[in-house]
Amino acid sequence: MPGGFSLSITVSVEAATNLPGGGWSLRYELRGDLDALLIPTPVAPGPADGLWQHTCFEAFVGPSGSLAYQEFNFSPSGQWASYLFSDERVRDTVSESAQATTSNSQPSVAWHCFPDAFVLEACIPVAALRSTGSRETLDVGLTAVIESRDHELTYWALRHPCAKPDFHNRQGFALQIPPKPNA
């Protein structure tokens, strides 16, 4: 890791049985030289742009075989963002405007500090997803942007398919979630 300190990140994804209609729970865990990191301070939860410019955790989700995908950003501040794309880096702002932003379609973010770890838990309700994934395999890219106290950003992913990190590259969507049984 740049800056001469060590860090590890793990992430898990599971079905969110506590959400009406279902969805996904993600749990990101940082361990290592945590004092070397800049962690955004808590603010009122809600949508915000530009979260990737500081420490945040991300999920890229798209149906297998489709060019379309969705990007979610989760900040330790409690803020989140959701963007729709029709192709790599091509924002689908028309669909974003049409997508409901009711309380049952908004992600939630919780951040916990422990003596040896920082943990961010995010829930994505099925209503927040362009595709519910109930009848199709989803390709998922799990990523993180980590900011050091020196304001240096590092980019973490399950897979970096290019020499330079590019979270929007579908080859980096390394996790596949199969359709739900009996969907």
Residue ranges of domains in the chain: 7-177
**15: amino acid identity, one letter:** A
- Contacts of residue 37, Cβ cutoff 8 Å, sequence gap at least 6: 7, 30, 55, 118, 146, 147, 148, 149
Residue indicated by tokens 């049984």: 181
pLDDT of residue 52: 96
pLDDT of residue 20: 81
pLDDT of residue 1: 47
Structure tokens at 10: 């793990």
Q: Mark 158-178 as b/e (b = at least 16 C-beta within 10 Å).
A: eebeeeebebbbbebbebebe
pLDDT of residue 4: 66
pLDDT of residue 10: 97
- Reduced to 3 states (helix: H, G, I; strand: E, B; else coil), residue 98 is helix
CATH fold of 7-177, please?
Immunoglobulin-like (2.60.40)
Tabulate helix, strand, coil % of the chain (nearest 5): 10, 45, 45
Task: Give yes or no for a contact between 58 and 73, defined as CB atoms under 8 angstroms apart.
Answer: yes
Mean pLDDT for each 10-residue chunk of the chain (183 residues)?
76 90 93 94 94 97 94 97 95 78 80 92 89 76 96 95 95 90 51
**1: amino acid identity, one letter:** M
Closest to 24 (Cα-Cα) out of 167, 158, 180, 182: 180
